[in-house]
């Protein structure tokens, strides 16, 4: 019986974002807009640590950070609305 591999830091980021997020899709779109052609599979390879293409890793992290920031702002706005109600 083979032990499960420990998740990479990038996999943990993706897990923390939860299901139904668009971070992978948004990362691919941002890369394409920057003139970098890649595939969903290549991006997942980078997330899994089997590829170390700097532009894929950096862009994924930028998009994930933006999503976490957006979620914090939504929570803050919702708390503010509740406090004002």
In a domain, 29, yes or no: yes
How does residue 75 score in pLDDT terms, banded at 50, 70 and 90? Answer: very high
**pLDDT, position 49:** 96
**pLDDT, position 5:** 82
Q: What is the 3-state secondary structure (H, E, C) of the chain?
A: CCCCCCCCHHHHHHHHHCCCCCHHHHHHHHHHHCCCCCCHHHHHHHHCCCCCCHHHHHHHHHHHHHHHHHHHHHHHHHHHHHHHC
In a domain, 2, yes or no: no
Number of domains in the chain: 1
pLDDT digits (tens, 9 = 90+) for 13-68: 999 999 899 999 999 999 999 999 999 999 999 999 999 999 999 999 999 999 99
In a domain, 1, yes or no: no
Range of the domain at 63: 9-84
pLDDT digits (tens, 9 = 90+) for 9-19: 999 999 999 98
**pLDDT, position 3:** 57
């Amino acid at each position: 019986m083979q032990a499960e591999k420990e998740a990479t830091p990038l996999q943990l980021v993706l897990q923390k974002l939860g299901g139904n997020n668009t971070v992978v899709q948004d990362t691919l779109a941002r890369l394409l807009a920057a003139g970098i052609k890649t595939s969903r599979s290549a991006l997942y390879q980078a997330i899994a640590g089997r590829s170390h293409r700097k532009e894929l890793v950096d862009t994924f992290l930028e998009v994930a950070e933006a999503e976490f920031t957006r979620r914090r702002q939504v929570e803050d706005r919702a708390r503010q609305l509740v406090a004002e109600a």
